[in-house]
Chain A
Amino acid sequence: MSIRLRVYTILFVILFLVLLGRLFYWQVYKGGSLSAEASNQYKYGRTLEAKRGDILASDSTWLTASGRTWLIYASLPDIKNNPKEIAEKLAPFFVDDEEEDYRSRLLVEIDRINNLLNKNEVVWVPLSNKIEEDAKKQIESLNIEGIGFDPEETRIYPEGSSAAHILGFVGKDSEGESKGYFGLEGYYDITLSGKPGFLSRNADAQGVPIILEDERRISAIQGVNLLTNINKSVQLTIEKKLKEGIEKYGAVSGSVIVANPKDGSILGMASFPSYDPASYWDYGDTFFNNPAIFSSFEPGSIFKVIVMASGIDAGVVKPETKCDACSGPYKVDGYSIETWNGEYRPDSTMVDVIVNSDNVGMAFVSEKLGKEKMYDYLKKFGIGDLTGIDLQGEMSPKLRDKGNWSNVDLATSSFGQGVATTPIQMVRAVSAIANGGILPRPQVLDKIVGEGWSENVKADSGIRVVSEEAARDVTMMMVAAAKKGESKWTYKKGFKIAGKTGTAQIPIAGHYDEEKTNASFVGFAPYDNPKFIMLVILQEPSSSPWASETAAPLWYSIANDLFAFFGIQPENEYN
């Protein structure tokens, strides 16, 4: 009896120890992994998406907005039908039937889909993305087993490729996250992006949330909308006219900028060639840079108004000052500076110098101004510095260092040769003349708009670069240049226009191209209370090398529409 009891006791202890060991194995040794497995079964988490902010025109309609398209995929184990048949059904949805080689592209697409559906080593393959809602519904109605859809955020462009260079585009960064590149998308990427949130909670076997259990929610911060100064009517007008102008004058490319010279707000900005931000991957990298803020060019004669304003402000010349060097070519350090048409007008006044776009007269002004003052004034006008426009991708050519100016540099820069600027720098500098001597900072954005709030982000009021009198004097010279200069044939009578043409030779490999030019026209109206300033640039026009026959008529053609749009009335010239 005693032995039996001992045996049972020992057995009981052994079994207890085995049980204890087993419990230790499950609870402690395997506890972590089992707990994780269990957690995977009842833990439920998902990302709360943050919508990217919209970019709005000045009338609060959309330039681009967040939208949704679909990624179509195939779950290969669930495919029941013949892959070739599925490919033939799906391919027409992925190929644009308006393309020229539609038939051959369709066959290529069928082949591509068929290959994807016949892959062995994978179970899930993406077939195509950016599928629109209508196409998705049509594909769903085909009831193809194994074909599914995943939502993906995209950008909608109601105006197509309009304002592409201003907007930029949204692509993916190295981690596969959406990121804005170029233009507003790039400059205001963080503001537009917002921040995704996260929801974590427990759920039962059917996925029903268990309410009393732990729930963690980090709310998503939605992206903020951008209300811009871009006027859709102005933007579409300048794009249409610029495209027509490039074709008409046989130019390689061109740019137009329209701004309010009083506060620097950009009302429209267009350049061609351009690209479609909705399918940016079809274009090369060179298309993405905005020529209006990126391309440097020698401005030619439109630069004269800046130098003249500097000369008047410095007190070295007045509008009535007579040029005593204008009777013939101007000699400087062994070089000879000539007028553009070989005509010389002795005793020209400074008004005549601008009206006739006289290079010799400008060399005369620059000599009076001197190298140091010239450099200081150009710096004050923002030449050689970034304008600070709120678009990603701005570039500024360097202004020659202060101590490195030769006499020839001084003379040639006075008529816009040997000095490089960007179009936006020129618009800004001439805006200072239109704005009574105060240099504005160009800005595309007007307000940032959130849910129930908005904040003005107007640029600062600008800095004075020349006196009001100097600005007024140069304005009147530009008025005379528009009426009586080489582009007078295209002048629109009755309207208060101040303008200046610029025909610049193109520097290549240490010398200037004999045939190719850049033609430009900058002007503003009405000159006494400007509603807009506009710069038109045409690169290498083939119909005529002269701005007066290419850029100027294009400027007036656009201005004609802008007059009506801004409600600018003609002055009565009969009075």
Chain B
Amino acid sequence: MKRRYLRKGGKGETEKSKKGIPLFNKGIFVWVLLFIFGAIQVYFAIFVSALGADLQTLEKKEAQVTEENKVLRSQLIESTSLAKASENSESLGFAKSKETVFLGGDDFVAQGNNF
């Protein structure tokens, strides 16, 4: 069947509409749709694939940061050692007081504990 597109307001518009002839070609519409879907499929396949690669990169970075965090955490923990601070205190010029002087609330002067 010969198909024609009719211009709006043209002579044949009334005739063709009456006979139920489509206003545009169905075949081309299907092919366009298929092309669009195909393109979307390809686009999302690439997009998702790229997302997977991004995820892998992020996971590697996360592992690297976790690794560095563990090292820093270990250093932090080691640096809180009271035993090591005590060992180093003398070389840093600190010394344990030989006498403790206690001050009472009503006292005018300090009292030693060696009475």
Contact = CB atoms under 8 A, between A and B. Distances in A.
Interface of A: 61-62, 65, 67-68, 133, 156, 158-160, 162, 203-204, 207-212, 232-233, 236, 492-495, 563-564, 569-570, 572-574
A152 to B, nearest CB: 12
Nearest to B106: A572
B81 interface: yes
Contacts, number: 69
Contact of B52 (A62, A211, A570): A211
Given A67-B70, A208-B52, A158 B115 contact: no
Contact of B77 (A67, A563, A569): A67
Contact of B81 (A158, A209, A563): A158
Given A158-B81, A211-B48, A570-B111, 14 more contacts: A133-B71, A156-B77, A158-B83, A208-B53, A209-B52, A210-B48, A211-B55, A212-B48, A233-B82, A236-B83, A492-B113, A572-B104, A572-B111, A574-B115
Contacts of A159: 81-83
A247 B22 CA distance: 109
B56 interface: yes
Contact of A62 (B71, B77, B104): B77
23 contacts: A62-B80, A65-B77, A67-B70, A156-B78, A158-B83, A158-B84, A159-B81, A159-B82, A159-B83, A204-B52, A208-B53, A209-B52, A209-B56, A210-B48, A211-B52, A211-B55, A232-B82, A236-B83, A494-B113, A494-B115, A564-B100, A570-B102, A574-B115
A158 B113 contact: no
Contacts of B70: 67-68
Interface residues of B, number: 25
Interface in B30-76: 48-49, 51-53, 55-56, 70-71, 73-74
A493 B80 CA distance: 36
Contacts of A204: 49, 52
A212 B100 CA distance: 72
A208 B49 contact: yes
A198 to B, nearest CB: 15
Contacts of A61: 80, 82
A156 B74 contact: yes
A572 B70 CA distance: 53
Given A68-B70, A207-B56, A211-B52, A493 B115 contact: yes
A158 B52 contact: no
A572 B74 CA distance: 48
Interface in B89-115: 100, 102, 104, 111, 113, 115
B51 A211 contact: yes
User: What 5 pairs between A and B have smallest CB-CB spacing?
Assistant: A158-B81, A61-B80, A208-B52, A209-B52, A159-B83
Contacts of A211: 48, 51-52, 55
A160 B81 CA distance: 9
Given A65-B77, A158-B78, A569 B53 contact: no
B79 to A, nearest CB: 8
A12 B84 CA distance: 88
A208 B49 CA distance: 8
B86 interface: yes
A208 B55 CA distance: 8
Interface of A is mostly: loop
Nearest to A49: B66
Contacts of A158: 77-78, 80-81, 83-84
A208 B52 CA distance: 6
A501 B48 CA distance: 78
Nearest to B80: A61
A48 to B, nearest CB: 12
Contacts of B56: 207-209
A208 B74 CA distance: 32
A225 to B, nearest CB: 13
Contacts of A564: 100
A160 B73 CA distance: 17
Contacts of A65: 73, 77
A162 to B, nearest CB: 6
A62 B78 CA distance: 9
Nearest to B75: A133
B4 to A, nearest CB: 45
A133 B74 contact: yes
Nearest to B57: A208
A134 to B, nearest CB: 10
A68 B51 CA distance: 31
Contacts of B80: 61-62, 158
Nearest to A233: B82
B44 to A, nearest CB: 9
Nearest to B103: A569
Contacts of B48: 210-212
B52 A68 contact: no
Contacts of A208: 49, 52-53, 56
Nearest to A154: B74
B111 to A, nearest CB: 7
Q: Which of B53, B56, B82 has the most CB of A within 10 A?
A: B82
A236 B55 contact: no
A280 B101 CA distance: 43
B74 A162 contact: no
Q: Which of B48, B55, B77 has the most CB of A within 10 A?
A: B77
Contacts of A203: 52
A160 B86 CA distance: 13
Contacts of B53: 208
Nearest to A561: B96
A210 B52 contact: yes
Contact of A162 (B73, B78, B83, B104): B83
Nearest to B48: A211
Contacts of A236: 82-83, 86
Contacts of B104: 569, 572
B40 to A, nearest CB: 14
Given A67-B74, A209-B56, A494-B115, A569 B83 contact: no
